Structure 1
Amino acid sequence: MGSIYLIRHGQASFGADDYDVLSPIGIRQAEVLGKHLSDLEIRFDRCLSGDLRRQQDTAKHTLLQISANGWVTPSIETDSAFNEFDADAVIRSLLPGLLPEEPEALAILRNGAQNRAEFQRLFARIIQRWVSGDYPADGLESWTSFVERVAAGLQRILVQAQSKDNIAVFTSGGTITAMLRLITAVPAEKAFELNWQIVNTSLSRVKFRTTELALASFNSQVHLQLLKAPELITFR
C-alpha cells in the first residue's frame, strides 16, 4: 500500500496584517518536522502543496531540513485544490446574519489576537452555519463545493500514484477536515470538531490501494512533543 501524509502548515501570523506568513515558531515547527521525518527515514516520492504562502513555505523548510540530513527530496508540486477555504470570505458573508444574536461579534473578530477564546467561539458558530448549507451567499464557495474541490485534488493524486508511493501534501486544517469527511464519511459537524484539534505541522496518514483509502493516523505531533517545548504546540 502507498501512503499520503497530510501535513498542516506551520503557525501563521494570526492577528497580523497578512495571516499567510509563517511566524518564527511556524518556521521552527517545519524544521523540526523535517528532522523528524529524516530520522524516521521516510522518503517522499512526491510532494504537493496548495499555493498559499504558508503551505508552500512549510513544505520548503521541511524539505530543506530533510535534504540537509542527506536525503534526496522531490520538487514541490502545486495544486490549488489543497488550498484552505477562504475563512475571511465566510466570515464576511455570514457574520451579518449572526449579529442580532452576537452584537459584539464584529469587534471581537477584528481583534482576534486579543480575544482568542471568544474569536474561536464565534468562528466555530460561523463555520457551523457555513457547513450546514442553510445560509447560502452569492459568490461564496460552499462547504459542498470545497469538499468537491479537495476530492478532485485527491483523485488526481491517486490516478498518478504508484502502488507504494509515499506522498506528502502540505495543506491546511480545513482541507484535512474535508479529507476526513471524504475518507471516513464522518458528518461534517463532527469533522470540524476534530478540525479544531489539528496542530500546526501535525501529520495525518492515509493509506491507499488504487482508489481505496483508509485513515491510518490523525494529528500526530510527536515531533513537537519530544522537544518538551509547549510553545511549539499551536493551533493557528
Structure 2
Amino acid sequence: MGSIYLIRHGQASFGADDYDVLSPIGIRQAEVLGAHLAELGLRLDRSVSGDLRRQQHTANAAMSRLSEAGIAVPPLEIDAAFNEFDADAVIRALLPDLLPEQPEALQVMRNAAQNRAEFQRLFALLIGRWLSGDYDQPGLQSWQGFVEQVQAGFARLLEKAERGQHIALFTSGGTITALLHLVTGVAPDKAFELNWQIVNTSLSCLKFRGSQVSLASFNSHVHLQLLKAPELITFR
C-alpha cells in the first residue's frame, strides 16, 4: 500500500495584516518536521502543496532539512485544490446575522489576536452555520463546494499516484478536515470537532491502494513533543 502524509502548515501570522506568512515559530516547526522525517529515513516519491504561501513555505523548509541530510527530495507540485477555505469570507458573510445574538462579536473579530479564546468560540459558531448550508450566499463558497474542490484535487493526486508511493501533501486544517470527511464518512460537524485539534505541522496518514483509501493515523506531532517546548505546539 502507498502512504499519503497530510501535513498541516506551520503556524501562520494570526492577527497580522497578512495571515498567509509563517511566523518564526511556524518556520521552526517546519524545520523540526523535516529533521524528524530525515531521522526516520523517510524517502518521498512526491511532494504536493496548495498554492498558499504558508503551505509552500512549510514544504520548502521541511524538504530542505531532508536534503541537508542527504535524502533526495522530489520537486514540489502545486495544486490550488488543496488551499484552505476562505475563513475571512465566511466571517464577513455570516457575521452580520450573528450580531443580534452575539453583539460583542464584531469587536472580538476585529481584535482576534487579543481575544483568542472568544474568537475561537465565535468562529466555531460561524463554521457551524456554514456547514449547515442554511446560510449559503451568492459569492461565498459553500461547504459542499469546498468539499468538491478538495475531492477533485485528491482524485487527481490518486490518479497520478503509483503503487507503494510515499506522498507528502502540505495543506491546511480545513482541507484535512474535508479529506477526513471524504475518507471516513464522518459528519461535517464531527469532522470540525477534530479540526480544532490539528496541530501545526502535524502528520495524518492515509493508506491507499488504487482508489481505495483509509485513515491510518491522525494529528501526530511527536516531532514537536520530543523537544519539550510547549510554545511549538500551536493550533492556528
- Quickly name the TM-score band, shorter chain normalised: over 0.9
How far off is 1:75 after superposition? 0.7
Aligned to 1:197, the other structure's residue is in SS state coil
Describe the superposition over 1:9-66 as per-residue Cα deviations: whole angstroms up to 9, x where unpaired. Answer: 0000001000000000000000000000011111110100000000000000000011
| Correspondence for 2:17 | 17
CA distance in 2, matches of 1:75, 1:30: 17
Say yes or no: does 1:42 pair with 2:49. Answer: no
Alignment of 1:1-236 (within 5 A): 1-236=1-236
How many residue pairs were aligned? 236
The one-letter code matched in structure 1 to 2:161 is: A
How far off is 1:175 after superposition? 0.1
Aligned-pair identity in percent equals 70
Describe the superposition over 1:111-131 as per-residue Cα deviations: whole angstroms up to 9, x where unpaired. Answer: 000000000000000000000
Describe the superposition over 1:182-210 as per-residue Cα deviations: whole angstroms up to 9, x where unpaired. Answer: 00000000000000000000000000000
CA distance in 1, matches of 2:68, 2:19: 28
Aligned to 2:145, the other structure's residue is in SS state helix
Aligned to 2:186, the other structure's residue is in SS state coil
CA distance in 1, matches of 2:26, 2:70: 23
CA distance in 2, matches of 1:26, 1:69: 21
CA distance in 1, matches of 2:55, 2:33: 14
Describe the superposition over 1:157-181 as per-residue Cα deviations: whole angstroms up to 9, x where unpaired. Answer: 1111111000000000000000000
Aligned to 1:167, the other structure's residue is in SS state strand
The one-letter code matched in structure 1 to 2:31 is: E
Ranges in structure 2 where 5+ consecutive residues have no aligned partner:
none
Describe the superposition over 1:67-94 as per-residue Cα deviations: whole angstroms up to 9, x where unpaired. Answer: 0111000111100000000000000000
The one-letter code matched in structure 2 to 1:51 is: D
How far off is 1:148 after superposition? 0.6
CA distance in 1, matches of 2:161, 2:117: 41
TM-score by length of 2: 0.99
How far off is 1:222 after superposition? 0.2
